[in-house]
């Protein structure tokens, strides 16, 4: 065992239900100030484009970016809109307080530690959030699907994360995530051990039935070192 790679949203951060239409409405309000009707139409169009992009993730595992979503909705990129959108999401981006001591422990044990997340957000946004919470430099590498052609559960996404942390054998890796389809089936499909953190209430339209058993289940992130110790014996 040489590396542990984590999912981000719902794993390193607490899961919080969010209104995606309302999030895009904050963006559209900046794009069309003083025109509530147009802002509502644009927000709905962006949300529809985002929903379609996530459908491709589930069926074809194709990664996408926010810029592509906006282009599909014929909405311009807007700096103030991005600021408002990110402010709306801020409460769902806080790193769990167990993360820093956990990653420190794993590093002290000689393990490589990384992140692999399915996200349309630019890497710079995520790095800013991890830096804000004082954990960015604890990770050897972070990989965001917005920089990839395919995302979880596609094998290439997991292989990209392995390469980023400097490990070439999936059997040497453990993946920790909160979704059975994306995280657990994807990790096990390439030969990793997979640890399930069942704290996320997956919306019905995001669920994909899958017959897979995780190698371990965590009720708290700080239980992970004990699980890894058992596997080393």
The answer to whether the predicted template modeling score (pTM) of the entire model surpasses 0.85 is yes
Q: Does 124 share its domain with 193?
A: yes
pLDDT for the residue numbered 233: 75
Q: Are strands 216-217 and 3-6 parallel, antiparallel or unpaired?
A: unpaired
Q: Does 45 share its domain with 83?
A: yes
d(CA 102, CA 95): 12
Q: Does 135 share its domain with 43?
A: no
At 126-137, the pLDDT tens digits run 999 999 999 999
At 169-191, the pLDDT tens digits run 999 999 999 999 999 999 999 99
Q: Which domain holds residue 116?
A: 3-15+93-232
Q: How close are the terminal C-alpha atoms of the chain, in Å?
A: 11
Of 91, 125, 151, the one marking the end of a domain is 91
CATH number at residue 100: 3.40.50.1000
Q: Does 49 share its domain with 86?
A: yes
Q: Does 7 share its domain with 57?
A: no
Question: What's phi and psi for 173, nearest 5 deg?
Answer: -115, 150
pLDDT greater than 90 at residue 232: no
d(CA 11, CA 184): 13
pLDDT for the residue numbered 25: 98
Query: For residue 35, what are the contacts with CB-CB under 8 A and spacing of at least 6?
Result: none
Q: Does 69 share its domain with 100?
A: no
Q: Does 120 share its domain with 208?
A: yes
- Our count of domains for the chain comes to 2
Of 44, 62, 91, the one marking the end of a domain is 91
d(CA 112, CA 173): 9
Of 91, 107, 134, the one marking the end of a domain is 91
Q: Does 36 share its domain with 85?
A: yes
d(CA 44, CA 182): 26
At 17-69, the pLDDT tens digits run 899 999 999 999 999 999 999 999 999 999 999 999 999 998 899 999 999 99
């Amino acid at each position: 065992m040489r590396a542990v790679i984590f999912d981000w949203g719902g794993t390193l951060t607490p899961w919080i239900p969010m209104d995606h239409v309302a999030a895009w409405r904050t963006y559209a309000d900046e794009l069309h100030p003083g025109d509530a009707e147009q802002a509502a139409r644009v927000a709905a169009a962006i949300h529809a484009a985002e929903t379609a992009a996530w459908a491709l993730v589930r069926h074809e595992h194709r990664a996408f970016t926010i810029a592509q979503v906006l282009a599909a909705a014929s909405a311009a990129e807007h700096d103030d809109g991005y600021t408002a959108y990110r402010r709306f999401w801020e409460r769902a981006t806080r790193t769990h307080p167990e993360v820093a001591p956990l990653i420190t422990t794993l590093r002290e044990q000689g393990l490589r530690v990384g992140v692999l997340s399915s996200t349309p957000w630019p890497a710079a946004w995520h790095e800013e959030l991890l830096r804000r919470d004082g954990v960015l430099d604890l990770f050897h590498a972070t990989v965001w699907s917005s920089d990839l052609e395919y995302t979880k559960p596609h094998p290439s996404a997991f292989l990209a994360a392995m390469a980023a942390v400097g490990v070439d054998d999936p059997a040497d890796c453990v993946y920790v995530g909160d979704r059975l389809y994306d995280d657990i089936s994807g990790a096990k499909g390439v030969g990793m051990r997979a640890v399930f953190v069942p704290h996320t209430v997956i919306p019905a339209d995001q669920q994909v039935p899958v017959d897979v058993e995780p190698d371990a289940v965590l009720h708290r992130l700080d239980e992970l070192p004990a699980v890894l110790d058992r596997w080393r014996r």
